[in-house]
Amino acid sequence: MSDSSNAETRSLHQSRRELWLILMALLGCAIWVISYCSVNGYNLSPEEVSTVLGFPDWVFRGVVLPWMIANIFTFWFCLRFLKNDEDEEEAP
Amino acid sequence: MNEAAASSTANSALVTFAIYLLGVFFLAWLSSRVRRRREFMGEYFLGSRNLGLWAFALTFAATSASGGSFMGFPSLIYTHGWVLALWIASYMVVPLVGMGLLGKRVNRLARQSGAVTIPDLIKARFKSETVGMLATLLVLFFMFFYLLAQFKAGSKIMTTLLEDVATYQSAVNAVGSTIDGLPWIGSAEPDYVLCLLVFAFSVIVYTAFGGFRAVVWTDVMQGIVMGIGVIILLFLTLGQVGGLRNATEQLKEMTPPETGTGIITLGQGQTETITLPKGAWLRLADGGIARLAEQASLAKGETQAEAKLLKITTPAEVERIPPTKFAFPVSAIFTADETKGYGRGRKGVYVSAPGPHPESEDGFLNVWVAISFFFFWAFGSAGQPSNMVRLMAFKGTNILRNAILTVSIYYTVIYLLLVVIFCCGRILLPGMEVDSDRIMPELAAKVTSNAGVPWLAGLLLAAPFAAVMSSVDSFLLMVSSSVVRDIYQNRVNPSASERQLKRLSYLVTAVVGTLAMLAVLNPPQYLQDLIVFATSGLAGCFLMPVLLGLYWPRMSAMGAIAGMLGGLGCHLLLYIAGYLIEDKFTAYQLLELNPFIWSLTVSGLLGWFCSLRQIKTPKNK
């Protein structure tokens, strides 16, 4: 197998690992957001809605909080997990 | 808002718009100078594949944020309340999915194959002319619809924002007398025609002249304008509602307004025809307050007229809103429409899901629709060819890495803050349901006027211009690159000289833009629905074949064709079913899921199954 073919294989394997992690992150966010909001956010009377930093509590815990955590995850993913291809510099 | 404030806001909008257009043309001129020193096709359609961090991040973000983000989305937030945070929630992972899912692989393959367009890339991956041609036809088919819709959206935004400018009104009158009686455009609104001409001319000129680099540079400028606009609007709005907590507490007590018919009575017959403008506040006979949802005219001597009204039902607002002052006494009797909607008379609907809806018993966002939208935004963004083509243009993984981070922060600022801003907007501007698409300019005018800085409204109002322009230019270039590269250079004249390609590129960009403009001079009905049709159609046809092609070496040309045609077939079938069942241009929501989810599933399964089948066929071993 040539060097370029090896590099392509390694790039594909690393990209696949990144792909699965991205899909897991999407699924994780979907489960958190949809399950929390569907249980705690639907058909509420005004008395049942308290606020956190001005947001309705179900919006804060069901959307804002996971949004911030998703951003932290994105930072980790980009800075630690997303790898440069080894032959990137030689790419035409 | 008083007349002086309205006029000041309108003039500042006009000045901002003029400065903004000058900036756009300057960037187009600058990019054409850069292009002189480089190979034409790669530079004109892909910016020589050397986009840096800010250019790549902001062109991706700005192209995704179309006019809907600043007109349709605020209108939905205003009408349905905090539930829109759930509706838009998947934007927390859209940058990661939209750029990370395909970014590295698309960029790598594009560099290795020298591909300039998405059909080019697909053809190179599957080594099949047929797949490339099918991709070209699909891009042309869906993108043209998209282009039509965005041209119309751009013109509508301009008419909304400039309607109070005196100079503009004179120009509208001149256009009106010119087009009156002409076939095709004679029945169109003159203000719409004027704005369409200005908007289309600007976009066509700077896109045709500047190419991809001009589009990217203007996207950067537009992205900055949008970001700054949202942040300023947030601070002004929060300050004027007394903070977010106070706004949410007030929203808790609100009940949705009721639509209905009003019998308007004048205290005395008038000596001339009287017109009560749309949006005027009328005191009701029962002590309530209602807003005219349409203009009401009373002929000379008449004392009664019927008109559509919007009745405010929140007691605090009824007390707070003064009726509009006329030179004669006016009152009205209100009869509510019979509707089966959700939220009528209920407190708390603006701070909880599913959100009020005047017609749907399930409210605005039931759980199934919320699930659909979560995946639609994420995969829909990844599957747009206009986004994929940007992934072909960045310099390397370091740029991709930093761009994902930048766009994550940018989307957090834009989308999360827009929800906050327009929930507060409900408190500052009651009764905007009569024309909820105007909430953005109205709120900008209101908060800047209250803060004593009406000139600032111009900057805030530039955001929707920027959003639409940054989408239109990208789609225009996509269509033109498909014609020049995928059809002419790859099929008709492979040995075309650079000079020929250059002339043809200018010509095609101008002709496609002009055709789109002519097509929407008299806009067809259902144009907004065409945006959804085109977006979900493109993603449904392209995402799975491209994704499988990039990550699964055994994915074959046959699989790609089956995937694209399967996605297209499922998409069209659901729209035909929707049309037959509901008698309007809409998709049938099988199991209440967005039709895009079904197209994606069918496309993926067919692509996978046909590729496996081809592998098992002896002649392919």
- At residue B306, does pLDDT exceed 80? yes
Residue B97 and residue B29 in one domain: yes
Residue B121 and residue B173 in one domain: yes
Contacts of A54 in chain B (CB under 8 A): 243-248
**Of A49, A74, A91, Cβ closest to residue B96:** A74
Contacts of B409 in chain A (CB under 8 A): 71
pLDDT, mean of residues A6-28? 93
Considering the domain boundaries, does residue A44 fall inside one? Answer: no
The answer to whether the Cβ–Cβ distance between A37 and B353 falls below 8 Å is yes
Residue B142 and residue B291 in one domain: no
pLDDT, mean of residues B137-160? 81
Identify the bridge partners of residue B282 per DSSP, sorted by sequence position. Answer: B290
Interface of A with B in 37-66 (CB under 8 A): 37-38, 41-46, 48-49, 51, 53-56, 58-59, 62-64, 66
Q: Hey, what's the torsion of the CAs at B47, B50, B54, B59, to 10 degrees?
A: 30
Considering the domain boundaries, does residue B596 fall inside one? Answer: yes
Residue B49 and residue B157 in one domain: yes
Q: How far is CA B584 from CA A13, A59, B329, B568, B571, in A?
A: 47, 34, 43, 20, 16
Distance CA B214, CA B397 (A): 23
Look at chain A and report how many structural domains it folds into.
Answer: 1
B564 to chain A, closest Cα gap in Å = 21
Contacts of B116 in chain A (CB under 8 A): none
> For the segment B350-403, what is each residue's pLDDT rounded down to a tens digit?
999 999 998 888 899 999 989 988 998 899 888 888 888 888 888 888 889 989
For residue A91, the model assigns a pLDDT of 43
Residue B266 and residue B385 in one domain: no
Considering the domain boundaries, does residue B289 fall inside one? Answer: yes
**Residue B245: band (very low, low, confident or very high) from pLDDT cuts 50, 70, 90:** very high
- State the sign of the Cα–Cα–Cα–Cα dihedral B390, B392, B394, B397: positive
For residue B5, the model assigns a pLDDT of 60
**Of A19, A25, A56, Cβ closest to residue B82:** A56
Considering the domain boundaries, does residue A14 fall inside one? Answer: no
- Residue A83 contacts B where some CB pair is shorter than 8 Å: yes
Distance CA B385, CA B142 (A): 10
DSSP 8-state symbol, B481: H
Considering the domain boundaries, does residue B348 fall inside one? Answer: no
| A-B C-beta contacts closer than 8 Å | 165
Q: Are B102 and B550 in contact (CB under 8 A)?
A: yes
Considering the domain boundaries, does residue B485 fall inside one? Answer: yes
Buried b / exposed e across B416-442, counting CB within 10 Å, b at 16+? bbbbbbbbbbbbbbbbbbbebbbbbbb
Considering the domain boundaries, does residue A9 fall inside one? Answer: no
> For the segment B54-89, what is each residue's pLDDT rounded down to a tens digit?
777 777 777 777 666 777 788 899 999 999 999 999
> For the segment B608-621, what is each residue's pLDDT rounded down to a tens digit?
999 998 766 655 44
Considering the domain boundaries, does residue A71 fall inside one? Answer: yes
**Of B96, B105, B405, Cβ closest to residue A15:** B105
Domain enclosing residue A58, as ranges = 29-37+51-82
pTM, two decimals, is: 0.86
> For the segment B440-489, what is each residue's pLDDT rounded down to a tens digit?
888 988 898 888 877 777 777 777 777 777 778 777 887 888 888 888 88
Residue B264 and residue B277 in one domain: yes
- At residue A66, does pLDDT exceed 90? yes
Domain enclosing residue B97, as ranges = 3-245+354-520
- Residue A84 contacts B where some CB pair is shorter than 8 Å: yes
Residue B181 and residue B287 in one domain: no
Considering the domain boundaries, does residue B250 fall inside one? Answer: no
What is the Rg, in whole angstroms, of the alpha carbon atoms belonging to chain A? 20
Per the listing, tokens 């006016």 go with: B330
pLDDT, mean of residues B1-13? 64
B214: CATH: 1.20.1730.10
- At residue B172, does pLDDT exceed 60? yes
The answer to whether the Cβ–Cβ distance between A74 and B404 falls below 8 Å is yes
For residue B620, the model assigns a pLDDT of 45
For residue B288, the model assigns a pLDDT of 92
Taking residue B229's Cβ as centre, other Cβ atoms within 10 Å add up to 23
> For the segment B401-439, what is each residue's pLDDT rounded down to a tens digit?
989 999 999 999 899 999 999 999 999 999 998 888 778
The answer to whether the Cβ–Cβ distance between B348 and A45 falls below 8 Å is yes
Residue B200 and residue B60 in one domain: yes
In whole numbers, what is the pLDDT of chain A averaged over residues? 91
Give, in degrees to the nearest 5, the angle at Cα B107 between B103 and B110: 140
The answer to whether the Cβ–Cβ distance between B93 and A70 falls below 8 Å is yes
Considering the domain boundaries, does residue A62 fall inside one? Answer: yes
Look at chain B and report how many structural domains it folds into.
Answer: 3
For residue B139, the model assigns a pLDDT of 86
